[in-house]
Structure 1
Amino acid sequence: MRMATLMLVSLAAGLLSTSTVFTASSAWAADEAALGNMRFDGGDGSYKRAVENGVTFVIAADPPSTFRDNKTNSFDGADVRIFREVAKRLGIAKVNWDIVPFDAMIPTLLAGRADVIVDNLHETEPRLRVVAFTSPAYWYGSGIAVQRGNPAKIHDWANFAGRRVGTLRGSINHQLLSERNDLKELKLYTSSEAEYSDLIAGRIDVAMEDDIKIGQFLKQHPTAPVERVLDYKPQPREYGYARYALRKSDVDLNNAVSRALDEIRADGTLSSIIAQFGYTDRNLWYFPVKN
C-alpha cells in the first residue's frame, strides 16, 4: 500500500511538471468520453429526465439572440447556437424548439410546455420570484434608436419625457419605462421587427432596445431611415448579464446547464459564437457604465 501510494504521488508530480499543453478540444474529448458517468444529483432527477426523454427550449422572435430563419424555417441566433452546444455537451440528444411572444416565455415555462427559456433574460427581483436563473453567459445593455437625423433631438433618458417610446413587452426596458409617468405614450411590442416598423413609420419617437440588436438591425437594413443614438449613456440598471431561466424545481438541470455555460465561457467556444452576432470579448465580463 505504501509503495502504491508513493507511485501515485510520483505520477502526479510528473503530470504537474510536464510541459505538454492540452488544447481545449482534447480536454473536451476526454470529458465527452466520460459523459456516461456524469451526474447532477440535486435530488429532483430533472437532468436525468432531460437526457432520457429530451427537452423543449422556448425562444421569442428576438434577433440576434433568437429567431426563426425565414429562408430555412430553422431556429437560429446567438442563444440558439449557445444551447445547441450546451445540449451536445450534456448528452441531451432530443431537443424540441418552441417560439412564442417574448412575454409568453415565462408562462410557457411555468405551465410545463418548455424546460428552459433560451432567449436570454436579465435577472430581476420580479423574475426571481417565479423562476431560477443559470450562470451568466455574456454582458449587454440598452441603446436607443430614432428616425434618421434624430428630429426629436433625443439623446438621453431625460429626453424621453413627453415622447412616444417603444420597447419589447416583458423586457428589462419595459420594467424601467413603466416606472415613468412623464411619457406621452409607452408602446409595447412582441417582436423587435414590429417595433422598428413603427419607428420608421413615425408612430413612436424612440425605440429602446438592447444596443446589439439595434446595431444588427442597422447592419441588415442599411437603407432604413433609422439611426442609433451614439451618445446615449445608459443607466447602470439597463446593463446586466445574459442568463437563462428554468423552473425552480429543476435544480439538477439548472446545475448541468450552468456548468456547461461555465465551460464554454472558459474554453473560448462562447466567445466564438457571440462574435458571429456582433459581440466582442468585452461582452464576456462586466464592464463599468459611466454616466
Structure 2
Amino acid sequence: MRRQLASIATLAGIATLAGLVMLASLGMRTGGAGQAGSALAQDTAPTPAISSSGVVIPNLWDPNRRLDRPATTSLTGIRFTTTDDFPPYNFKGADGRLTGFNVDLARAICRELSVPCTIQARPWDGLIDTVAAGRVDAALAGIAITPESRAKLDFSDVYLRPAARFAARKASAAPRLDAGGLAGRKVAVAKGSAHEAYLADFFPEAVAVAVETPEAAHDALKAGTADLVFGDGVQLAFWLQSEPAANCCAFVGGPYVEPRFFGPGLAIALPPDRKDLRLALNWALDSLYDKGAFAELYLRYFPVGYF
C-alpha cells in the first residue's frame, strides 16, 4: 500500500480539516476489465455502519465469523514500527509527537490485548527487511500486500481499504453512474493512475480528461472544464471540505474498491513465523470494530468519510 500511495504534507489539526490532504493515485493497473459493477463496497463487504453524523464507517469484517480470544501468555509486549511521513496514517504532530490513525490503532490493539507496546518511527527504506528479520514485531506503515512482500512477511486481516469516488459540482444534476449514464461526460482523472485505467475499462463511453495531477483534476471540476472527477476517496474527501474547493462540489454515487486496481488495503505486517501474533492482532481488530472503537478512530482521522 505504501508504494501505492505518495507521501503527503503533514497535517496540522486534522479534526478541523486545516489544509488539504494530498494522497496520490492508488495502485497501478494490474489486470484487464473485471466483472462490470464489481466495485461497490456494499456489494463486496458486510453492511457498513453509519455514524450519528451520517459518515459511513467501512466494515471489512465478516459478521458471521466468531474469533475466540487467543492466549496471549507468549506476548510480553508488542514492538510496533511505523514511519512519520505518511499522514493521516502516521506523522509527527505539531508537538513533534508521533500520531495518526495507524499509531492510535496500534495503541488500541495493545489495550485490547492487555499487553504493553512500543511504537517507534523508522525510515521507510529497509522497513520490510527489518520486519522480516524480527527486529520488530509488527509494522503499521502501509506496506503493500504483494506476492513479493508475502514472500518475506505475514499480514493481519485488512483493516482499511482504499476507495475511488466520483465527485461533481453541486449545481449540476447528478449523472447516472453507469457506462451509458456517463456517455459523453467529461471526467477529470490523473494521468497514468489506477483511476484512469479503471475509468477506461468500466466507463469506456466517458470522455477522460487526463491531467498531470489529482490537484489539476480538482481544478478542472471546479472550473467546469470537466463534468466529474474520479480519484482517491480520501484525497477527495478532504479536498471537498477545503478552502480551495469553496464548497463547489460533492461526492456522487458510492465507493469503488476493486483490489486489482486500487490495492487490497491496509494490513499489519509481521514476521512470517509469528502466527500467535497474527491471531492476536486479528482478534483485537475484530473486537475493536464490534465495540465501536474502530469507528471512533475512523471519525477522528476521516471526519468527512470517504465511503
Q: TM-score, normalised by structure 2?
A: 0.49
**Identity over aligned residues, as a percent?**
13
* Displacement of 1:85: 1.4
Paired residues of 1:68 and 1:76 also in contact (CA < 8 A): yes
Q: Distance in 2 between matches of 1:264 and 1:167?
A: 38
Contact 1:167-1:187 at 8 Å conserved across structures:
yes
Q: CA deviation at 1:177?
A: 6.5
Q: Does 1:237 align with 2:262?
A: no
Q: Is the 8 A contact 2:110 2:116 kept in 1?
A: yes
CA distance in 1, matches of 2:218, 2:195: 20
Deviations 1:150-177 (A, max 9, x none): 7xx98747559986522897xx758856
Matched, 1:199 2:217: yes
* Structure 1 residues 166-181: aligned runs within 5 Å: 166=190, 176=198
Query: Is 1:266 the counterpart of 2:290 in the alignment?
Result: yes
* Bigger CA radius of gyration: 1
Q: 5+ unaligned residues in a row in structure 1: which ranges?
A: 1-36, 41-46, 101-106, 189-194, 284-291
Q: Matches of residues 57-68 of structure 1 in structure 2 within 5 Å?
A: 57-58=82-83, 61-63=86-88, 66-68=89-91
Q: Does 1:77 align with 2:100?
A: yes
Matches within 5 A, 1:1-291: 38-40=72-74, 51=78, 54-58=79-83, 61-63=86-88, 66-68=89-91, 71-90=94-113, 91-98=115-122, 108-112=126-130, 116-118=138-140, 131-137=153-159, 141-145=163-167, 156=177, 158=179, 165-166=189-190, 176=198, 185=210, 195=214, 197-202=215-220, 206-210=229-233, 212-221=234-243, 223-224=245-246, 227-230=249-252, 232-235=253-256, 237=258, 243-247=266-270, 249-251=272-274, 252-278=276-302
In structure 2, list runs of 5 or more residues that go unmatched.
Answer: 1-70
CA distance in 1, matches of 2:201, 2:268: 24
- Change in Cα spacing, 1:184 to 1:268, as seen in structure 2 (3 Å) is closer
**In 2 relative to 1, CA 253–214 (structure 1 residues): closer, same or farther, beyond 3 Å?**
same
Does the CA-based 8 Å contact 2:165-2:232 persist in structure 1?
A: yes
What SS does the aligned partner of 2:121 have?
Answer: strand
Aligned pair in 2 of structure 1 residues 177, 84: CA closer, same or farther (>3 Å)? farther
**Stretch of structure 1 that moved more, 264-273 or 238-247:** 238-247
Separation in 2, partners of 1:257, 1:156 = 38
State the structure with bigger RCO (CA 8 A, min sep 6), 1 or 2. 2
Aligned to 2:33: none
Distance 1:39 1:98 in 2: 28
SS in 1 for 2:106: helix
When structure 1 is superposed on structure 2, of 235-244 and 81-90 the one drifting more is: 235-244
Q: CA deviation at 1:75?
A: 3.9
| Residue aligning to 2:15 | none
Give the structure-1-normalised TM-score. Answer: 0.51
Distance 2:72 2:109 in 1: 14
Using the TM superposition, give the Cα deviation of residue 93 of structure 1 relative to its aligned residue in structure 2, in angstroms: 3.1
Query: Which structure has the highest helix share of the two?
Result: 1
Amino acid at match of 1:266: D
For the aligned residue pairs, the C-alpha RMSD in angstroms reads: 5.0
Corresponding residue SS for 1:143:
strand
